[in-house]
A and B are shown apart, each in its own frame.
Chain A
Amino acid sequence: MAIQLQQVSYTYADRSLWRQTALHDMNLDLPQGSMVGIAGATGSGKSTLLQLFNGILKPTQGTVSVLDVTIRAGEKPPKLLPLRRRVGLVFQFPEQQMFEETVEKDLIFGPLNFGMSPEQAKEAARKAMTAMGLDHGLLQRNPFHLSGGQMRKAAIASVLAMEPEILVLDEPTATLDPVSRAELIGLLERLCREEGRTIIIVTHRMDELLPYADRWVLLQEGRLAFQGSGAELAADPAVLERCGLTVPQSLRYWRAVAERFGLTGEKPRLTAESLAERIAALREPGGSAAEMRDRYE
Chain B
Amino acid sequence: MNDRLLLGRSIETGSWVHKLDARSKILAMILYLVIILLAHSWWAMAVLAVFSVSVLSSTKVPLKYYLKAAKPLRYLMLFIFVVQALTVKEGEALFTIGSFSLHEGGLRLAAFSVIRMFLLITFTALLTFTTRPAKLNQGLEGVLTPFKKLGLSPERITLMISIALRFIPTILDESQIIMKAQASRGADLKELPLKEKMRMLVSLLVPVISSAFRRAQDLVYSMEARGFRMDAPRTKYHRPAWGAADSVFILMFVIMGVAVALL
Direct contact of A and B (CB under 8 A): yes
A interface vs B, CB < 8 Å?
Answer: 12-13, 16, 18, 20, 51, 54, 56, 80-81, 84-85, 88-89, 91-92, 94, 96-99, 109-110, 113-114, 144, 158-159, 162
Question: Do residues A94 and B181 form an inter-chain contact, with CB atoms below 8 A?
Answer: yes
B184 within 8 A of partner (CB): yes
B residues near A51, Cβ cutoff 8 Å: 180
A residues near B191, Cβ cutoff 8 Å: 81
CB < 8 Å: which of B2, B183, B211 contacts A56? B183
B182 within 8 A of partner (CB): yes
Q: Which residue of A lies closest to B206 (CB)?
A: A99
B190-208 contacts to A, CB under 8 A, are: 191, 202-203, 206-207
* Interface size in chain B (residues, C-beta < 8 A): 22
A residues near B218, Cβ cutoff 8 Å: none
Report the 10 A-B pairs with minimum CB-CB distance, sorted nearest first. A113-B186, A99-B206, A110-B185, A18-B2, A89-B184, A97-B181, A13-B2, A91-B181, A114-B186, A99-B203
- Complex Cα distance, B207 from A96, in Å, reads 6
- Complex Cα distance, B54 from A202, in Å, reads 52
- Complex Cα distance, B180 from A51, in Å, reads 9
Question: Do residues A109 and B188 form an inter-chain contact, with CB atoms below 8 A?
Answer: no
Which of B1, B181, B188, B207 has the most C-beta atoms of chain A within 10 angstroms of its own C-beta? B181
Question: Do residues B184 and A12 form an inter-chain contact, with CB atoms below 8 A?
Answer: no
Question: Do residues B185 and A162 form an inter-chain contact, with CB atoms below 8 A?
Answer: yes
A residues near B185, Cβ cutoff 8 Å: 84, 97, 109-110, 113, 158-159, 162
- Complex Cα distance, B209 from A98, in Å, reads 12
- Complex Cα distance, B202 from A176, in Å, reads 28
B5 within 8 A of partner (CB): yes
Which of B184, B187, B203 has the most C-beta atoms of chain A within 10 angstroms of its own C-beta? B184
B57 to chain A minimum Cβ distance, whole angstroms, is: 19
B86 within 8 A of partner (CB): no
Question: Do residues B1 and A84 form an inter-chain contact, with CB atoms below 8 A?
Answer: no
B residues near A84, Cβ cutoff 8 Å: 183-186, 188
B residues near A20, Cβ cutoff 8 Å: 2
B interface vs A, CB < 8 Å?
Answer: 1-2, 5, 174, 177-178, 180-188, 191, 202-203, 206-207, 210-211
CB < 8 Å: which of B1, B2, B182, B186 contacts A97? B182
- Complex Cα distance, B211 from A105, in Å, reads 20
- Complex Cα distance, B221 from A238, in Å, reads 43
- Complex Cα distance, B173 from A91, in Å, reads 13
Q: Which residue of A lies closest to B177 (CB)?
A: A91
A residues near B181, Cβ cutoff 8 Å: 89, 91, 94, 97
A residues near B177, Cβ cutoff 8 Å: 91-92
Question: Do residues B203 and A109 form an inter-chain contact, with CB atoms below 8 A?
Answer: yes
B212 to chain A minimum Cβ distance, whole angstroms, is: 11
> Please, could you name 17 A-B residue pairs with CB atoms under 8 Å apart, sorted by A?
A12-B1, A13-B1, A16-B2, A84-B183, A84-B188, A85-B186, A89-B181, A89-B184, A91-B181, A92-B177, A96-B178, A97-B181, A99-B202, A99-B203, A99-B206, A110-B185, A162-B186
B178 to chain A minimum Cβ distance, whole angstroms, is: 6
A183 to chain B minimum Cβ distance, whole angstroms, is: 23
CB < 8 Å: which of B1, B2, B180, B211 contacts A96? B211
Q: Which residue of A lies closest to B65 (CB)?
A: A17
Question: Do residues A110 and B206 form an inter-chain contact, with CB atoms below 8 A?
Answer: no
CB < 8 Å: which of A81, A88, A97, A158 contacts B178? A97
With contact pairs A85-B186, A113-B186, A158-B185 given, residues A91 and B180 touching in the complex (Cβ less than 8 Å): yes
A residues near B5, Cβ cutoff 8 Å: 18
B residues near A54, Cβ cutoff 8 Å: 184
- Complex Cα distance, B183 from A162, in Å, reads 13
- Complex Cα distance, B1 from A20, in Å, reads 10
Q: Which residue of A lies closest to B214 (CB)?
A: A96
Which of A89, A96, A158 has the most C-beta atoms of chain B within 10 angstroms of its own C-beta? A96
A residues near B180, Cβ cutoff 8 Å: 51, 56, 91
